[in-house]
Homo-oligomer: A and B are copies of this chain.
Amino acid sequence: MEKGVTVQQSNVVIQVFSEYLKQHGLRKTPERFAILEAAYAMNCHFTAEQLLTEMTENQRFHVSRATVYNTMDLLVEAKLLHKHRIGGGAQYEVSYNSDSHYHQICTNCGAVTEFHDVKLHKDLTTLKTRRFTAQSYSLYVYGLCSKCMSALRKKQKRLIDKDNGRKKN
């Protein structure tokens, strides 16, 4: 629990999960809390596989792949993690006490960045849905990151120059 979250936050999160497990008649196993701590120690977005590697490689705690997947589902249910389906599989993100932000995904290189928007946030929290009880939102903006955009511009420029050269000859 060194990286992303303070010790105080960590304790609260453990309490929240503990309460969730109690409410749902689930057992408080060391594996579940180890996964919770490992998840909250990750930075930004991470996959189930990355969390597993982090846990086993650093010899923090041995857990099986199946238990990681099971527990991640519980943590999503308990609103302690957000699940995003970006790229090949799923990516997770810490959600307790985190500010509401949105994701920009580059369709060229797959880079994911975050941004904030007050007006959008206001609209989303006051959104009127049809025959539906909203609980959470995911907004993804697809496009090109600045790197890929400038690479594309250069490529297009080269093509135009090449074409002009051809016309002259």
Contact = CB atoms under 8 A, between A and B. Distances in A.
Secondary structure dominating the interface of A: strand
A129 interface: yes
Interface string A42-53: 000000000000
Interface residues of A, number: 33
B132 A144 contact: yes
Contact of A139 (B128, B130, B133, B138): B138
Count the copies. Answer: 2
A47 to B, nearest CB: 14
Contact of A140 (B119, B128, B133, B137): B137
A29 interface: no
Interface string A79-117: 000000110000000000000000010110000010101
Contact of A136 (B129, B143, B146): B143
Interface of A: 85-86, 104, 106-107, 113, 115, 117, 119-120, 123-124, 127-146, 149
